[in-house]
Structure 1
Amino acid sequence: MKLDKVLSISGKPGLFELKAQTRGGFLAESFIDGKKIPVSMKNNVSILSEIAIYTYTEEIPLRLVFQKIFDKEEGKQSIDHKSSKKELTDYFSEILPEYDEERVYPSDIKKVLQWYNLLISKEITDFSEPKDEGQTADGLKIEDTKEK
């Protein structure tokens, strides 16, 4: 599973897998307890593949941060997200030395590490870039398949 199917829903703990689209939103399954919940368009939902971390020069996609953690930990869990603020910031500085300390809060670091550990526990380790939205399954651009 790629990160473009993994969701964070404001007010709900953990992460969710996008299962199906419904008339008023979509159906999501919790990674924590496996329960399926309906999610309406009123909910604040973030797709992990669309999240980025601020650095002093640019925004780094979350998937690249996960990949750096994965490489550092050799595919294992990272430090516990309940570690002290100093441990969290020191660890994150090792992973992403150029992260913007004024815009990336310890609570953000805690969430990133919690999400990473949850993904690893579910054996989701594909942090590659999602396929182009404008491509078909055979790799053709959608505009290439339209008649001119």
Structure 2
Amino acid sequence: MSLEKILSISGKPGLYVLKVQTRTGFVAESLLDGKKVTVSLKSNVSLLSEISIYTYEGEKPLTEIMQNIAKKENKGQTISHKEDNAVLLDYFREVLPEYDEERVYASDVKKIVNWYNTLQAKGMLADEVPAVAEEEAAPAKEAVVAEKVKAPAKKAKATKE
């Protein structure tokens, strides 16, 4: 599950996919309606891959929590984010029993459940690539790099004094 290019933009509903970076910000595409929006660098934007949830031992990345929900639901939809707060918190306790109940609020759980359902509906909850597959691909990349021919370096022009 890769949340590297998935964004939450403050003041805008839903999730967005980072498309292109510009000089003054970037262009993102909404997962709700597919519309593209330009976002300035002054906007408050959060990458889902950088979000963590407080636990009693430390913090857990959102990616792990999404995987726990996917495992619990067999990669299907989960409960609605519009459920009662008590129901949401009980559900979240099943997914992440060690979450810090004093610092994680019902509104946080609503966002996580809503984000999960949005990503699941769009088919963006793919399994992570196993480490073995990455190791097997690494020698192939090195072979391609070794085949590249280096262009001769340009000589710097001497400056007259």
TM-score normalised per structure 2: 0.79
Cα RMSD for the two superposed structures: 2.0
Q: Name the residue aligned to 2:45.
A: 45
Q: Distance in 1 between matches of 2:35 and 2:69?
A: 28
Question: Which is worse superposed, 120-129 or 86-95?
Answer: 120-129
| 1:46-125 correspondence to structure 2 within 5 Å | 46-125=46-125
Cα deviation for residue 84 of structure 1 reads 0.2
Query: 1:2: how far off?
Result: 2.3
* Unpaired runs of at least 5, structure 1: 130-137, 140-148
Matches within 5 A, 1:18-33: 18-33=18-33
Distance in 2, Cα, partners of 1:58 & 1:127: 25
Equivalent AA in structure 1 for residue 46 of structure 2 = S
User: C-alpha displacement at 1:127, in angstroms?
Assistant: 5.8
Amino acid paired to 2:125: T
CA deviation map 1:7-36 (0-9, x unaligned)? 000010000000000110000000001000
- Name the CA distance, whole Å, in 1 between partners of 2:22 and 2:124: 25
Please give the alpha-carbon distance, in whole angstroms, between the structure 2 residues aligned to 1:18 and 1:33.
15
Q: How big is the shift at 1:58?
A: 1.2
Per-residue CA distance 1:76-96 (angstroms, 9 max, x = gap): 011000000110000000000
Equivalent pairs counted in the alignment come to 134
Specify the code of the residue in structure 2 equivalent to 1:48. Answer: L
TM-score with structure 1 setting the length: 0.85
Cα 1:22/1:119, change in 2 over 3 Å: same
State the Cα deviation string for residues 42-65 of structure 1 (Å, max 9, x = none).
100000011000000110000000
> What is residue 15 of structure 1 aligned with on the other side?
15
Q: 1:54 to 1:113 in 2, by over 3 A?
A: same
Write the distance in 2 (CA, Å) between the matches of 1:59 and 1:118. 23
